[in-house]
Amino acid sequence: MEVSFHREVAMLRRGNGDTFHGEGILAITKALLQSGVAYVGGYQGAPVSHLLDVLVQAEDYLRELGVHVEACSNEASAAAMLGASIHYPLRGAVTWKSIVGTNVAADALSNLASPGVTGGALIVVGEDYGEGASVIQERTYAFALKSSLVLLDPRPDLERMVRIVEEGFALSEASNMPAMLQLRIRACHVRGSFACRDNVAPAISPQHLLDDPAPFDYAKLSHPPMTFRHEKLKSAERLPAARRFIVEHGLNERFVATRDDIGIVVQGGLYNSLVRALQQFGLADAYGAATVSILVLNVVYPLAPDEIRGFCAGKRAVLIVEEGQPEFIEQEILALLARGGITTPVHGKDVLPMAGEYSVEVIARGLDGFLAQRAPELMNDAGPAWLAATDARRAAVASALGTPLPARPPNFCIGCPERPVFAALKLAQQDVGSVHIAADIGCHSFATFEPFGMGHSILGYGMSLASRAGVSPMMRRRTLAIMGDGGFWHNGLITGVQSALFNRDDAVLLILKNGYTSATGTQEIISTPGEALKEAAEEKQESLVHRNQTIEKTLQGIGVRWMRTVDSYEVDAMRRTLDDAFTTDFAGLKVVIAEGECQLERQRRVKPWRAGALKAGKRVVRVKYGVDEDTCSGDHSCIRLSGCPTLSLKESPDPLKVDPVATVLEGCVGCGLCGENAHAASLCPSFYRGEVIQNPGWRDRVSARVRHAFIRLFQPA
């Protein structure tokens, strides 16, 4: 991983008397160390990637402290790691992106939650829900409910988030329940400060080893008949213990206001948005002092019945602000109140939307409906006027534009090695006909957008090959599964390749081998070339991935007999290889490996090298492509085949050509795709390759003079 977190790593060392300033996710990372965590693991994914990234780079300090860090191969292996806390008084934390990661981890989570834990176990999940999300929209809450896991949802305030982490471990130990801590994107990136405490070195650690394993205890196995007892323990002992702890330690916050007859129950993570919405109605100030009473649920599961009843009893009405569906919290509160004989009217999903992110505007519209029904005397013109102004602004923009803004889908980076592969696939389908394409998770899923528009389904990370198993037998033409190297190691090798080989399936698998799990922040994987190779590649400014054969050897070892490796940027060679894979007589699994290093990661390595070389006066050559505007025919087929953001349009300088001509913008990294496409698709010959030479030597100067002389000779005066 090339992104450096050395500043963040330094912050982790802070202790008593220091103040931490920074982002929520880093505060959580620091809180783990303050809690005496003994081991940390996880699988990266937005919005919690930084937690593991920072800890992996803090390796030296963590070794000193006695904290073991494991970059796990997927979320299932991370969840299984928490097994260390079943017998031993070890505090452990793992992290991943939810809901998808929790799905992958579900088996291990159930088996962990059944016997329960001795040492505190905390799972930090990025609740990737709402407008910035990149995954299916489901709630982690369902897992907490079904497996009896504590679910923490802290108010996005650094002091509070740190306290909830520390208390979360203690709560897990008091109840024997593993705890999940969900962080939405806004909580991960909220900035603030908190007073640090010293980090706590764990009592048992790689520095202080256990002499003996725990004695055999059948009750700690998730195995019948013990599982029947575990189920009873959950409701009879663990949940009551958790509820007691929540109340005794004041984990939820009750803000009593001047109008205690009207109340709002809010998930902790939504508190800041709620306060901002109340502000629009003049019912709160910027610091959260509100006119109506608020119960902030920093622990959303389990709920503490007496606390809920105590808050709601005697109120004229209560509003529940709960994001997403179904309305788990609202239903439970309604049941708790009914069982307690409390008749306070409860509103929630009747005034707020069932689905979608609860932005400030969405909450404000819900408040508008709630107040109008239950507390019209609190209504003033401010809230409705703010909402009306928001509508008017939106309408004004729409009318000024005339037509809706065109969608701007995300795209491959400039020079990405995956773009040429999809250009080749487009051309290959012109040869063999269109094929069913099982897509996958990763940067390559950008190919589902224009100008490629490829992919029939996405069934999960590394699942593409498995997801075509039911389709292949029904198709006259072979199907194609696409997978990145990240997906291959996460899941694809076992669920896809092993299964296809075992069943002797006739299918084509295209592996995009770029050397990293790029989509989650270019983390390293088992097939990432090592440091020595990176240094050698820097000198030559060349790609790295050809130097690591772990994927190829694994595939050979498991029994793949038809395998071709092609440079990602060689469009014509890739097209021919795909044609071959789709039409060969070989009936088993055919694997095409597209090799080309992630350009984002490569530029991170090459740019500092280039800057250093320039400073040292060394000769540096930068390749750049361009379009001869006189030759460009203006049909833009190159753009339709590439989609590179630096391949753009400009006004034609020729008054006889009305259509704009293609042009290459300054950001071109010289990946060569423009030339390759022109050749492979027989486009007009308007592209040229240029070399920008900095710190030129005497040979460069002489040859430049000779070339200019020739050009002048043949140019008209």
CB-nearer residue toward ligand SF4: 178 or 675: 675
CB-nearer residue toward ligand SF4: 543 or 646: 646
CB-nearer residue toward ligand SF4: 12 or 600: 600
CB-nearer residue toward ligand SF4: 11 or 662: 662
CB-nearer residue toward ligand SF4: 295 or 647: 647
d(CA 484, CA 519): 10
| Beta strands 19-23; 191-195: pairing state | antiparallel
Q: In angstroms, what is the minimal distance from the CB of 623 to ligand SF4? A: 8
CB-nearer residue toward ligand SF4: 631 or 703: 631
Q: In angstroms, what is the minimal distance from the CB of 417 to ligand SF4? A: 6
Contact between 376 and 316 under an 8 Å Cβ cutoff? The reply is no
CB-nearer residue toward ligand SF4: 365 or 513: 513
Q: In angstroms, what is the minimal distance from the CB of 670 to ligand SF4? A: 6
Q: In angstroms, what is the minimal distance from the CB of 607 to ligand SF4? A: 14
Q: In angstroms, what is the minimal distance from the CB of 540 to ligand SF4? A: 19
Q: In angstroms, what is the minimal distance from the CB of 416 to ligand SF4? A: 3
d(CA 538, CA 515): 15
Contact between 274 and 305 under an 8 Å Cβ cutoff? The reply is no
d(CA 542, CA 100): 35
Beta bridge partners of 295: 254, 265
CB-nearer residue toward ligand SF4: 2 or 350: 2
In terms of Cα–Cα distance, which of 51, 71, 138 is closest to 98? 138
* 384-390: long-range pairs with CB below 8 Å, 24+: 386/280, 387/280, 387/361, 390/361
Q: In angstroms, what is the minimal distance from the CB of 26 to ligand SF4? A: 23
Q: In angstroms, what is the minimal distance from the CB of 413 to ligand SF4? A: 3
Q: In angstroms, what is the minimal distance from the CB of 677 to ligand SF4? A: 8
| Phi and psi torsions of 319, nearest 5° | -110, 135
Q: In angstroms, what is the minimal distance from the CB of 406 to ligand SF4? A: 21
CB-nearer residue toward ligand SF4: 326 or 626: 626
Q: Give the amino acid at 122.
A: L
In terms of Cα–Cα distance, which of 49, 223, 48, 252 is closest to 150? 252
CB-nearer residue toward ligand SF4: 183 or 447: 447
Q: In angstroms, what is the minimal distance from the CB of 421 to ligand SF4? A: 10
Treating both helix axes as pointing N-terminal to C-terminal, what angle do 239-248 and 158-175 enclose, rounded to 10 degrees?
140
Beta bridge partners of 19: 195
Q: In angstroms, what is the minimal distance from the CB of 431 to ligand SF4? A: 22
What contacts 413, CB < 8 A, 6 or more positions away?
A: 443, 599, 600
CB-nearer residue toward ligand SF4: 114 or 514: 514
d(CA 272, CA 260): 20
CB-nearer residue toward ligand SF4: 369 or 672: 672
Enter the tokens of residue 671.
């990946």
Q: Is 222 exposed, middle or buried, given 0-12, 13-18 or 19+ CB atoms closer than 10 A?
A: middle
- Mapped onto helix, strand or coil, the DSSP state of residue 240 is helix
Helix (H) or strand (E) holding 696: none
CB-nearer residue toward ligand SF4: 152 or 519: 519
- Torsion sign across C-alpha atoms 625, 631, 636, 638: negative
Q: Give the amino acid at 175.
A: S
CB-nearer residue toward ligand SF4: 645 or 697: 645
Please state, in angstroms and as integers, the Cα–Cα distance from residue 18 to each residue in 11, 415, 700, following that order: 10, 44, 57
Q: Before 225, cis peptide (omega within 30)?
A: yes
Q: In angstroms, what is the minimal distance from the CB of 679 to ligand SF4? A: 13
In terms of Cα–Cα distance, which of 160, 202, 199 is closest to 181? 160
In terms of Cα–Cα distance, which of 2, 50, 61 is closest to 27? 50
Helix (H) or strand (E) holding 506: none
Enter the tokens of residue 553.
């050897």
Q: In angstroms, what is the minimal distance from the CB of 434 to ligand SF4? A: 24
List of residues contacting ligand SF4 (CB under 6 A): 412-416, 418, 443, 514, 518-519, 598-600, 625, 642, 644, 646-647, 664, 668-674
Q: In angstroms, what is the minimal distance from the CB of 514 to ligand SF4? A: 5
- Please list the alpha-helical segments (H only) found in 176-280: 185-189, 226-233, 239-248, 271-280
d(CA 151, CA 143): 9
DSSP string, 467-481: HTTTTGGG-SSPPEE
| Placement of tokens 């050395």 in the chain | 6
CB-nearer residue toward ligand SF4: 387 or 639: 639
